[in-house]
Amino acid sequence: MRAISAATVFVAIAGYAIIFIAARALTPADYETFMVFWGLFFALTGVLDGLMQESARAVTNARSSHVSASPLPHTNRANPMRVTAGFAVLSFLLTLVSSPLWADTVSPGHEMWGVGLLAVGLLAYSFQASICGLLSAVMGWSTFAWLIALDSGVRLLLAAVAWWMGWQLLAYLIMTVLGAATWLLFVVFSGLTRSLLSELADVNPRAFAVRSLKAMGASGANAIIISGFPVLLKFTTDTAVLPGALAATITAVTLTRAPLLVPLQRFQPALIVHFTKNRTRVLRASLLPMAAVVTTAFAGGGAAWVLGQPIMRIFFKEDYIVSAQSLALLTVASGSTALLMISGSAALAADRHTLYLTGWVAATAAAIALLTIDASPETRSVLGLGLGPLVGVVVQLVVLGLGARGVDKNSRVHGTGKTAPFRRR
């Protein structure tokens, strides 16, 4: 797991180094386009990460002695890579078909390139997600770490070359998606990776596809509001706004959420374990982590107020720096998304996957609604990120709280003294 930790740190550093390079190399208008395209690509790859989750689950189960003894015929069990090929083609076609709705907003001046690169990038990433799931199933953590590190390393190297050579926006759009094809190198040079291509799942192809779709819905819901926020901001901004006017706001949003959300994503499995052990007292169990998040968010907001602008001036041009007040408020607002990650972890621990998805969908809908009000980009972002996720938090905690009280009441009526587990939703 040390390899995974090191790779995760490298991925985070590489991502922010690329943003710094793009801010230095591109005009504000081109930088804004790059950040919106970058956000859209990683929001959609977040959706496809459902393939990674289901591949990991299905192959892990299939390798267990319990499932090996299952009456399900060997020939009826799904091969994750074959099912993934179907999802890859579907994502490619959906990107092409939907392109008239978004191409001129996401990649103005490079519409055809933007559509083609996004379609090919998502097709490639579908296989990468599935391979990461297969590696997880066999605990091939070292290979997994190298794969995600090389993915980001390729992007960082290409961004540095583009900066050095003076290349402009198109090179950065190509760089964004090219890392998604690094899995091909592992198929060629890694015996472990090749050996996993024929692995079978614990269910038939139809069941594997349905479960993958559910996993995509869950993983995609949080990816849209976290990675895809620049896209939401762009689509809810008046088209009369000059190109590049959102560059500073997008940069501020990207930087201010990192100190809280990146570490929390690393510790989300630990949160799920915490709530699993306290699933009969989920609201009480959520108090400490939520209090820690709120305290950290307000402390970070104070630090951003004092130090945010001086630090940003070291790395960014003045065009990309918002007011100290906006930096502070956006930092505090990031705490709302962190709270939603905590309540979502509680929902997952209670086996309430539908509730988990509902909370994120409600949060996204609320954030979009708040982004449509008539106010400055900074104000809309603070409201969308600060209040939108809280809607999802309330939905999840209220339902979990009602469920816990219902189970507790039932146990008292029957005099068992024990609490039954949550039913699946």
List the domain boundaries for the chain. Answer: 1-237, 246-425
Number of neighbouring beta carbons within 10 Å of residue 161 = 12
Encoded tokens for 173:
């759009």
258 or 143: which carries more pLDDT confidence? 143
- Provide the CA 327 distance to its chain's centre, in angstroms: 22
Using CB atoms within 10 Å of the CB of residue 262, give its burial: 0 to 12 exposed, 13 to 18 middle, 19+ buried.
Answer: middle
Q: What pLDDT, on the 0 to 100 scale, is given for residue 225?
A: 84
Comparing 92-101, 337-346, 387-396, the range with the smallest average pLDDT is 337-346
Comparing 57-61, 86-90, 193-197, 267-271, the range with the smallest average pLDDT is 267-271
Q: What pLDDT, on the 0 to 100 scale, is given for residue 238?
A: 75
Comparing 22-26, 35-39, 234-238, the range with the smallest average pLDDT is 234-238
**Mean per-residue pLDDT, 301-313:** 92
CA dihedral 303, 394, 340, 299 (to 10 degrees): 10
Q: What pLDDT, on the 0 to 100 scale, is given for residue 421?
A: 46
How far apart, in whole angstroms, are the C-alpha atoms of residue 58 and residue 105? 39
| Confidence band, pLDDT 50/70/90 cuts, at residue 424 | very low
Q: At what angle do helices 80-106 and 28-63 cross, to 10 degrees?
A: 170
How far apart, in whole angstroms, are the C-alpha atoms of residue 223 and residue 194? 29
Q: What pLDDT, on the 0 to 100 scale, is given for residue 191?
A: 92
Number of neighbouring beta carbons within 10 Å of residue 409 = 10
**Mean per-residue pLDDT, 360-381:** 92
| Confidence band, pLDDT 50/70/90 cuts, at residue 240 | low
Comparing 152-156, 177-181, 257-261, the range with the smallest average pLDDT is 257-261
Q: What pLDDT, on the 0 to 100 scale, is given for residue 246?
A: 87
Rounded percentage of the chain residues whose pLDDT exceeds 90: 53
User: Where do we find the tokens 């091969």?
Assistant: 79
Q: At what angle do helices 111-137 and 80-106 cross, to 10 degrees?
A: 150
**Mean per-residue pLDDT, 23-29:** 91
Q: What pLDDT, on the 0 to 100 scale, is given for residue 40?
A: 94
Rounded percentage of the chain residues whose pLDDT exceeds 70: 89
Q: What pLDDT, on the 0 to 100 scale, is given for residue 74?
A: 62
Compute the radius of gyration of the chain from its Cα atoms: 22
271 or 369: which carries more pLDDT confidence? 369
Q: What pLDDT, on the 0 to 100 scale, is given for residue 125?
A: 96
pLDDT at residue 323 greater than cutoff 60: yes
Q: What pLDDT, on the 0 to 100 scale, is given for residue 266?
A: 62
C-alpha angle with apex 254: 1 to 44, nearest 5 degrees? 70
Comparing 31-35, 122-126, 133-137, 146-150, the range with the smallest average pLDDT is 133-137
| Confidence band, pLDDT 50/70/90 cuts, at residue 183 | very high
**Mean per-residue pLDDT, 118-139:** 93
CA–CA distances in Å: residue 12 to residues 59, 140, 155, 338: 28, 21, 12, 17
pLDDT at residue 422 greater than cutoff 50: no
Amino acid present at 406: G
Q: What pLDDT, on the 0 to 100 scale, is given for residue 69?
A: 45
How far apart, in whole angstroms, are the C-alpha atoms of residue 32 and residue 36? 6
> Under a CB-based contact definition with an 8 Å cutoff, are residues 369 and 205 in contact?
no
pLDDT at residue 50 greater than cutoff 90: no
Instruction: State the pTM of this model.
Output: 0.83
Start-to-end C-alpha separation, the chain: 32
**Mean per-residue pLDDT, 138-151:** 91
